[in-house]
């Protein structure tokens, strides 16, 4: 008599994630890509990301970084675009770090 384990189906791995169309960095200055970046930053601001002006308080800087990272994950900003988006939120002294 065969064991009950022999009749159990083998678990299947989950399907791969849907690929995100990459934006090639060399093409980042085309009008379409600039418009895309502007929309991403606008979405980040609408979700509560505020400009960072370079305050010396480590707690303020840490909160800003955590908020920006969390928002980028939530709206699924591709890794290749995260630096571009984050730098658009820098102002005043933070732009000359």
At 11-31, the pLDDT tens digits run: 787 777 666 555 555 555 567
Under DSSP, the state recorded for 25 is G
In a domain, 77, yes or no: yes
Tell whether 50 is covered by a domain: yes
pTM (2 decimals)? 0.64
Can you spell out the DSSP letters for 37-89? HHHHHHHHHHTT---B---S-HHHHHHHHHHHHHHHHHTT--HHHHHHHHHTT
Average the pLDDT over 67-74 and give the result. 96
Which of 13-17, 75-79, 85-89 shows the lowest mean pLDDT across its residues?
13-17
**Residue 3, pLDDT score:** 58
Question: pLDDT per residue over 32-59, tens digit each?
Answer: 788 889 999 999 999 999 999 888 889 9
pLDDT at residue 12, rounded to an integer: 80
Domain extent for 75: 26-96
pLDDT band at 1 (very low <50, low <70, confident <90, very high): low
Distance CA 27, CA 23 (A): 7
Question: Does residue 3 fall inside a structural domain?
Answer: no
Of 65, 90, 78, the closest CA to residue 25 belongs to 78
Find out whether 45 and 86 touch, Cβ atoms under 8 Å. Answer: no
Residue 79 — very low, low, confident or very high, per pLDDT cuts 50/70/90? very high
As for how many domains the chain has, the answer is 1
Q: Let me know: does 14 contact 54? Beta carbons within 8 Å.
A: no
């Amino acid at each position: 008599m065969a064991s009950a384990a022999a009749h159990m189906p083998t678990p299947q791995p989950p399907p791969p994630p849907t690929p995100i169309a990459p934006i090639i960095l060399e093409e980042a200055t085309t009008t379409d890509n600039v418009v895309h970046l502007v929309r991403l930053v606008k979405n980040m601001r609408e979700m509560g990301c505020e400009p960072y002006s370079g305050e010396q308080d480590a707690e303020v800087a840490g909160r800003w970084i955590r908020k920006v990272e969390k928002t980028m994950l939530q709206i699924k900003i591709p890794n290749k675009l995260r630096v571009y988006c984050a730098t658009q939120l820098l102002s005043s002294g933070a732009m000359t770090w």
